[in-house]
Amino acid sequence: MKTHPALSSVIITWSSLRRLGAVSLILWGGSSGLPVWAASVDADLTARGAYLVTAFGCADCHTPLKPGPHGPVPDLSRALSGHPENVQLSPPPKADASWTWFGAATNTAFAGPWGITYASNLTPDPDTGLGRWKTEDFVRAIKTGKHVGVARLIMPPMPWPALSHLTEDDLRAMFQYLHTLPPIRNRVPDYQPPSP
């Protein structure tokens, strides 16, 4: 759906959206206001996506932490862009019977019985993020736990088994919101399966 140009610069808040919804309903009733109606539905979906992405803590793993004066803080200049390509990690500690998995200081790389996973770039960068993904690729990836919706299994700690319970509409909303983020070029390292 296309965003109405008059609305593209509106800063989205819940209250402004409610107002938009109300305004477009009035226009819908009173004129041939189809584009305005379409735009308000679109904005509703984006706002719902923002709400879901925030409430489900996607940024906890997909936005890298950096050192702050009182401990680690999210590096918002890299919001949702996944494990930073320029961060070199030492080999993970050895697991024992008590401690079976580990997270890197950035909280974007994880080592465990599944191997080593790196949180992906969820920004719409076409080469390194979700830019070329279709909505259906995203929905299928989260619903089936398959990389890009078709390939290898998506590994922990990506919580797709829980997220797969979301409705397709909610997943579409999340994807639409993710596509409004500033694209950040960051090529996340490939998944490393456990050594045999």
Task: Provide the binding-site residues for ligand HEC, judged by CB under 6 A.
Answer: 53, 56-58, 60-62, 110, 117, 119-120, 122, 138, 141, 147-148, 154-155, 157-159, 163, 174, 191
CB of 6 to ligand HEC, least distance (A): 30
CB of 175 to ligand HEC, least distance (A): 8
What is the distance between the alpha carbons of residues 92 and 42, in angstroms, rounded to a whole number?
Answer: 44
Nearer to ligand HEC, 4 or 177 (CB): 177
CB of 26 to ligand HEC, least distance (A): 34
Helix (DSSP H) and strand (DSSP E) numbers for the chain: 6, 5
Nearer to ligand HEC, 66 or 140 (CB): 140
24: its two tokens:
């477009």
Q: Which of these, 16, 73, 68, lies nearest to 40 by C-alpha position?
A: 16
CB of 154 to ligand HEC, least distance (A): 4
Strand partners, 67: 72
Amino acid, single-letter form, for residue 194:
P
User: Would you call the peptide bond into 193 cis, given omega within 30 degrees of 0 as the criterion?
Assistant: no
Nearer to ligand HEC, 45 or 154 (CB): 154
DSSP code at position 118:
E
Nearer to ligand HEC, 28 or 56 (CB): 56
CB of 38 to ligand HEC, least distance (A): 25
What is the distance between the alpha carbons of residues 166 and 142, in angstroms, rounded to a whole number?
Answer: 9
Range list of β-strands (E), 57-114: 65-68, 71-74, 102-103, 109-112
- C-alpha dihedral over 22, 24, 29, 33, to 10 degrees? 180
CB of 22 to ligand HEC, least distance (A): 29
DSSP code at position 5:
G
Nearer to ligand HEC, 47 or 154 (CB): 154
Nearer to ligand HEC, 37 or 51 (CB): 51
